[in-house]
Structure 1
Amino acid sequence: MSIPGGSPNPYLQPPQPNPYAGGYSGYPPPPAPPAGGGKRGGVPGWLWGLGGALLASAAWGGVLLATGGFAGADRPDLAGYGTTDDLCAAADVSAFEDSYSIDSEPRAATFRGDRLDRAVCDITLVPTGDDDYNSVYLNYEVSWHRGTDPAPEFADQARTSELFFGRELELTVEEVSGLGDEAYLVTFAEESGELTWALLSVREGWFEAHLSWNAYLETPEYAELVEARAVTAALRTSAEKTLTALKE
């Protein structure tokens, strides 16, 4: 769900700990698979994530046009990141390969506008050898801003997650050093301490990248796969390698 009257950005969306959450989209996920059902059915999570990203792009563009956000904008600094028609070709999942395999063909889409380009990639992973429909969903989203500099609001957007959801959902926000000009990690854990959702966001110049991890692992034997330190380390490695691949 989204905050009534709030802006459609990745920080103001509560995590959706279900197998079709579609990354950090703020739009309602399709229902979870039926108990004992066959191969994961229903609407694919990537479709929901894509719909949310494109709708958010349109809404944000409308706000900028309505408020004159493009007037007098500085020359965009994209920090050497080139646009792509297939973000999945750059998305690096090698940090997860020891424990998972890719469940289906990764799904990518790209939005190109006059002032903003955005690309998304959704990848579904399953624990190696799993037959019980456990899954992890990775969502990559990158934005090339040409109409407005995202820097002034980037840190505040990350911190608002804690304000709106931290008390209710055991959500934490922390600054991450050594990635881009600034980076933040947002995590959500169950009362047991098991991590179910994480978002790593990086800004460099007018370029933004967001990588989210959403777990649906109900089998107790996978407890080590939701250990916070291991998950966040894998997210960082994946982000670093993906950003390197996107450099022109």
Structure 2
Amino acid sequence: MTERPEGAPAQPQPQPQDQPSASPSAPPPQTPTQAEIPAQPAQAQAPTQAAVPSAYPYPDPQSPAASPSPRPYGPQVAPVAAQANPYGYPPGGYPPGGYPPGGYPPGGYPPLGAPPATGAGGRAVLWALVGAAVASAAWAGGVFLLGKDETEADLRGYRAKSDICPSVDYSSFKNEYPEEDDAPVNNSLEHAALDQSYCSISLKESSTSTLSDAYFSVQIDLHKKTDPGPEFTAMWSEYDQRYEDYEVEKVDGFGDEAYVITEDTTSGDDTSGSRSATLAVRDGWMTYEMRWSAYGSSYDDVTMPDVDDVVDWLKNDTNATLDNLRGADGI
């Protein structure tokens, strides 16, 4: 420290302005009243704006409350709280098979990524998801086990043939129609689900007939995948619903069920109108029809046999034909 020369005046020390010196004996300074404060020049003050509530649920990152301790790179932003999944999906998506039985579990599914729930409610959710998975697996297993029908077709030994006409017995009609048909029509179908054979024969009263005097046919169907019983019953037992002139009669002695369907529009006149008769038989999964029909007019000299007689002929020849088709060589 530099010593002051002897005789030099002491340097005055700077004192704070308007600051009364503190002295143990001096009274404490008095706070001036509002009237004693000199008026300050008016300054433009920004209007105070009332706080408006916001829909944003998090603190304003610019507000002091959001940043209690400023950081050197800007205000500290409050972390965003994790939100629960608004749609309530289960962890990892829906369980296999869709919704669990009974709909959503109580309280909805836990949010994605949430820790496993504990307690009674958590166990309920867990069992609901496990139950849905088990039900889905059981359904898939049931489809796998039941999807294939192993039922064996009940064909009763019948065989369809590619050329069935030689096996058709129509001897009961030959007294009325002695002329032989030299070119009967054969056709057949072979498939994993159905075998079918059909024969059509023209019936003539004499060699002078240029056209058929009556029409005769036989068809056999072997249903190899499905039981034809319900549809056969519906079609033939209610055949008279289709036309007013048809009559249906159930008959015995042929397979599991059989029906005779007849039609007669001649009103007793053997030379005008039409007559027909069909015998339909189901024996197991085999269905069979033998048909006869004839048409006449007042310009023809042809007479038609009585329908009741034709029904008897159909019954006789059906028994013989079915015997020929049972155990015969198939297609």
- Which band: TM-score by shorter chain? 0.5 to 0.7
Matches within 5 A, 1:56-75: 72=149, 74-75=151-152
Structure 1 counterpart of 2:276, from 197, 213, 216: 197
Write out per-residue CA displacement over residues 125-160 of structure 1, whole angstroms, 9 at most, x where no aligned residue. 101355364511111110000010011222211123
Compared with structure 1, are the counterparts of its residues 141 and 134 closer, same or farther at alpha carbon in structure 2 (3 Å cutoff)? closer
User: Could you say which residue in structure 1 is the equivalent of 2:230?
Assistant: 152
Question: Aligned pair 1:238/2:313, yes or no?
Answer: no
In structure 1, the partner of 2:66 is: none
What CA distance in whole angstroms lies between the structure 2 residues aligned with 1:71 and 1:186? Answer: 37
In terms of fraction of residues, the more strand-rich structure is: 1
* Secondary structure of the corresponding residue to residue 109 of structure 1: strand
| Residues 90 and 192 of structure 1: CA distance in aligned 2, closer, same or farther (over 3 Å) | same
CA-to-partner distance for each residue in 1:53-83, whole Å, 9 max, x for gaps? xxxxxxxxxxxxxxxxx95262101011123
Hey, what's the Cα distance between the residues in 2 that align with 1:142 and 1:245?
Answer: 12
Check the 8 A contact 1:142/1:210 in 2, yes or no: yes
Distance of aligned partners of 1:222 and 1:236 in 2 relative to their CA distance in 1, 3 Å threshold: farther
Show the counterpart of 1:212: 291
CA contact (8 A) 1:123 1:138 kept: yes
Question: Could you tell me which amino acid in structure 2 is paired with residue 109 of structure 1?
Answer: N
- The match for 2:252 among 177, 186, 198 is 177
Kept after mapping to 1: 8 A contact 2:162/2:197: yes
Paired residues in the alignment total 175
| 3-state SS of paired residue (1:197) | strand
2:195 — aligned with what? 117
Letter in 2 for 1:178: G
1:88 equivalent in alignment to 2:165: yes
Which stretch of the first structure deviates more once superposed, 236-245 or 124-133? Answer: 124-133
Inter-CA distance 217–132: structure 2 relative to 1 (3 Å threshold): farther
Aligned to 2:263: 188
Structure 1 residue 235, shift from structure 2 partner: 1.1
Larger radius of gyration: 2
Q: 2:214–2:292: 8 Å Cα contact kept in structure 1?
A: yes
More helix by share: 1
**Alignment check: 8 A CA contact 1:73 1:147 kept:** no
Q: For structure 2, list consecutive stretches of 5 or more residues without a partner in the other structure.
A: 1-146
SS in 1 for 2:151: coil
Q: 3-state SS of the aligned residue for 1:127? A: coil
Please give the per-residue CA displacement for 1:196-244, whole angstroms capped at 9, x wherever unaligned: 1111100100001111111134477644x42011111111112111101
Q: Which has the higher contact order (CA 8 A, sep 6+)?
A: 1
Q: Return 5+ residue gaps in structure 1 as ranges.
A: 1-69
Deviations 1:96-143 (A, max 9, x none): 111212244111111001110011000001013553645111111100
Structure 2 matches for 1:93-112, cutoff 5 A? 93-100=170-177, 101-112=179-190
Identical amino acids, percent of aligned pairs: 29
Q: Give the AA of the match of 2:281.
A: V
